[in-house]
Amino acid sequence: MIELTVDGRAVVVHDEDASLLDVVREQVGCRSVKDGCSPQGQCGCCTVLVDGAPRVSCVTPARRVHGRAITTTEGLDPAVAARWAAAFVDAGASQCGFCTPGIVLRLAALADRRAVVDEAAIRTALGAHLCRCTGWQSIVAAAARVLGTAGPAGDEPVQDAAVGAAPDRDPLFVQWRAQLEGPAFQVSDAAVVLGAGGFADDTAPVGALVALADADGAYAVGGDLPAARRQSAKVQGRRSTLGLRHPLAVPDGDWAVRLATTWVEPAYLEPDASWCLPGGRAASPLANGGAFGGKRASPVGDEARRLADEHDRAVRALWSRERVVRAGPKRPPVAAGVRADGTGVLRVATTPGAADLQPWVARVAETAPGLEVEVVTVDGPPVAPWLRATGWAEAAVLLAGARCAAAGTVGPGTPVEVTSPAGGRARVVVAADGSVEAAVWAGEALDPVTLRSYCFGAIHQALGWVWSEGLSVDDAGVVQDLTIRSFGILTARETPEMDVVLHSDDTWPVNGSDAVFAATAAAAWVAGGLAPTWPTGRPERTAR
């Protein structure tokens, strides 16, 4: 038995070689502590404070902290918790909210331990975390406001960091804007920041069986999560030394631009999860966000229902991070050659058993009617046609690149403008040091904080797509990169400065961040000289 104090309460828990994460979440019941990648120790979602110092709990054996004081967001001083929650809400620093409680704890500890905290210290502290939604800038802004230091350039506080009084924002407009951008229902309030985002695995009934899917999709079922873990086949997360492959060749031709991309992981932080009662309706894995389309067709709900019926008990169905990587949908690789007049050939990879790419092809035809699309079957992880800006972003990038090549305006500082099929418009410039300026037109902003947050996130995702992201897949089509750090997501320090200017008008609100995503990818590609393969590598001066 292990004795701990958790959020001020003395508890005695079973050792069973359990991690601190499993003890706190499963035995003590603190659901604000999230499991994004355990036992990889790479996402930071499971961060707790041990005697006031941040610790990644999924790689901390519980017995090592015997007798110590554990603090989660549920046990923070209420005034401190309220201050951080308000800062995050005011800055739009939390979208799905899955990464947020761990980040809040890390930053709160930073505030306690360092007399002087500047932006660099904040970004360094965030190095232990990943966030897929926000692009870091709004998180750094929230931290700067609480810590009383200068925030990122371009930060426009809705109100001063005397955080506490909520700015004049309409929650319905916040949700409406999030739903346009997500696209999924989303709440961004103090409760979400502190860990009550309503994620499927947080709402499961106590005593439910736990079914954990390994990398190959086999479920190990146990009376609780540690038991399921013990039975689960160990295909531990790993970062492969295998290089990235570009499975499609650019067709022969006299092209103004050529481009080949590889598989890209959506990399949402909350692994697919659901629970179900026998004969019941499964909890939605979409929870508080749509993972930018990544979970739209997740089978985990059906799997929870099947397992619940099979065992005649409530069952929590959880995918390990390795399972998400192997079976979750990827952005399909492309290879294209495009002439200056916008005609050309765009090849897109599909994989055996993957979803029909027809919606992807249709979006390309709408955006770039001069491109002939060839769908080519290759071995690889499943691809999907419903990920962010599906198909049309690739088409818009290629057209913008061909235009710039023809005009001789290739290089840093070239503005690229893109209009999405939804009618959102963005003009983006990427400078030599990687910093980004974006102007956005998306009808009535509804809630500028939310729209800007999504635009920052879109810039971050687009820069990752062009510069650093990809999955290594072997010749048999099996994904070899199985850790969440191996996908090339830009860290807080690697993410350059961003400035987003919103042009709100009185027209009907439309999605704006997807236009920002496509325009940023195009502008980064143009700024880097239209390299023929992605990822291209980061400009040297982006780290800070």
Q: Which of the stretches 3-11, 90-98, 422-430, 519-527 binds ligand FES when contact is defined by CB under 6 A? A: 90-98
Q: Which of the stretches 88-96, 293-301, 312-320, 367-375 binds ligand FES when contact is defined by CB under 6 A? A: 88-96
Contact 348, 360 (CB under 8 A): yes
Binding ligand FES by CB under 6 A: which of 133, 256, 287, 400? 133
Q: How far is the CB of 21 from ligand FES (least distance, A)?
A: 6
Q: How far apart are CA 389 and CA 411, in angstroms?
A: 24
Q: Which of the stretches 36-44, 217-225, 379-387, 398-406 binds ligand FES when contact is defined by CB under 6 A? A: 36-44
Binding ligand FES by CB under 6 A: which of 83, 132, 363, 403? 132
Q: Which of the stretches 22-30, 96-104, 175-183, 248-256 binds ligand FES when contact is defined by CB under 6 A? A: 96-104
Q: Which of the stretches 38-46, 164-172, 222-230, 422-430 binds ligand FES when contact is defined by CB under 6 A? A: 38-46
Binding ligand FES by CB under 6 A: which of 28, 37, 225, 482? 37
Binding ligand FES by CB under 6 A: which of 27, 38, 262, 351? 38
Of residues 135, 35, 21, 37, the one with CA closest to residue 481: 37
Give the gyration radius of the chain's Cα atoms: 23
Binding ligand FES by CB under 6 A: which of 96, 146, 196, 282? 96
Binding ligand FES by CB under 6 A: which of 23, 43, 143, 519? 43
Q: How far is the CB of 389 from ligand FES (least distance, A)?
A: 18
Binding ligand FES by CB under 6 A: which of 2, 49, 125, 131? 131
Q: Strands of 166-314 (E only): list them.
A: 209-213, 219-222, 257-260, 273-276
At 392, give phi and psi (nearest 5°): -70, -25
Query: Between residues 103 and 209, which has the closer beta carbon with respect to ligand FES?
Result: 103
Helix, strand and coil in the chain, % to nearest 5? 35, 15, 50
Question: What's the distance, Cα to Cα, between the start and end of the chain in Å?
Answer: 45
Applying CB under 6 A, does 56 fall inside the site for ligand FES?
yes
Q: How far is the CB of 288 from ligand FES (least distance, A)?
A: 8
Binding ligand FES by CB under 6 A: which of 27, 32, 42, 298? 42
Applying CB under 6 A, does 32 fall inside the site for ligand FES?
no
Supply the DSSP symbol for 242.
P
- Give the three-state DSSP class for 55: strand
Of residues 197, 237, 210, 199, the one with CA closest to residue 22: 210
- Binding residues with ligand FES: total (CB under 6 A): 25
Binding ligand FES by CB under 6 A: which of 7, 18, 23, 36? 36
Q: Which of the stretches 42-50, 73-81, 368-376, 495-503 binds ligand FES when contact is defined by CB under 6 A? A: 42-50
Of residues 150, 163, 133, the one with CA closest to residue 453: 133
The token duo for 6 is 């958790």
Q: How far is the CB of 151 from ligand FES (least distance, A)?
A: 18
DSSP 302-346: HHHHHHHHHHTS-EEEEE-HHHHHHHS-BBPPEEEEE-TTS-EEE
Binding ligand FES by CB under 6 A: which of 89, 269, 318, 399? 269
**Which residue type is seen at 506?**
D
Applying CB under 6 A, does 94 fall inside the site for ligand FES?
yes
Location of structure tokens 């704006």: 512
Applying CB under 6 A, does 271 fall inside the site for ligand FES?
no
Of residues 314, 325, 322, 237, the one with CA closest to residue 282: 314
Contact 105, 72 (CB under 8 A): yes
Query: Between residues 103 and 146, which has the closer beta carbon with respect to ligand FES?
Result: 103
Angle at 139 between CA 135 and CA 142, to 5 degrees: 150
Applying CB under 6 A, does 513 fall inside the site for ligand FES?
no
Applying CB under 6 A, does 58 fall inside the site for ligand FES?
yes
Q: How far is the CB of 128 from ligand FES (least distance, A)?
A: 8
Applying CB under 6 A, does 46 fall inside the site for ligand FES?
yes
Given its phi and psi angles, is residue 438 left (phi above 0), alpha (psi -120 to 50 degrees) or beta? beta
**Which residue type is seen at 153?**
A
At 305, give phi and psi (nearest 5°): -65, -45
The contact set with ligand FES (CB under 6 A) reads 35-38, 40-46, 56, 58, 94-100, 131-134, 269
